[in-house]
């Protein structure tokens, strides 16, 4: 039984549509499962705890600025020392400026 070119192309098109349709359907199902798990295990902070934490913000600001200044000084000294050790060149005080420091919010599991 000899198949014509038209029948071969029709069979190839049906196989392609079925294969791609199956793949995309499975991908959509997987993404919906991941979304549902994210919604199920979403951790919400109680509003009372968030409001209590936000209230005493003014006294912390001064302590935070002092700590930030110490951190900036330490980072600047580390950059200066690294440049001296690595490249043998001295770093002027204003050559490198630390503009933004953010605390990492990684959660370690033990």
Residue 29 located in a structural domain: yes
Residue 57 located in a structural domain: no
Residue 44 located in a structural domain: no
Residue 46 located in a structural domain: no
Overall number of domains in the chain = 2
Dihedral, CA of residue 110, residue 48, residue 42 and residue 40, to nearest 10: 120
Residue 48 located in a structural domain: no
In this prediction, what percent of the chain has a pLDDT beyond 70? 68
Predicted local distance difference test score (pLDDT) of residue 9: 96
Which tens digit of pLDDT belongs to each residue from 34-48? 999 988 888 766 665
Higher pLDDT, 54 or 68: 68
* Rounded to 5°, angle at Cα 59 from 58 and 62: 95
Which tens digit of pLDDT belongs to each residue from 93-108? 667 666 777 777 777 6
Tell me, yes or no, if the pTM score tops 0.75.
no
Range of the domain at 83: 63-101
């Amino acid at each position: 039984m000899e198949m014509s070119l038209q029948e071969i192309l029709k069979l190839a098109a049906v196989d392609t549509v079925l294969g791609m349709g199956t793949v995309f359907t499975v991908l959509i199902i997987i993404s919906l499962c991941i979304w549902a798990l994210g919604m199920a295990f979403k951790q919400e902070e109680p509003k009372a705890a968030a409001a209590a934490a936000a209230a005493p913000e003014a006294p912390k600001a001064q302590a935070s600025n002092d700590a930030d200044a110490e951190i900036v000084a330490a980072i600047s000294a580390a950059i200066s020392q690294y440049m001296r050790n690595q490249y043998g060149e001295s770093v002027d005080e204003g050559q490198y400026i630390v503009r933004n420091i953010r605390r990492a919010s990684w959660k370690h599991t033990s």
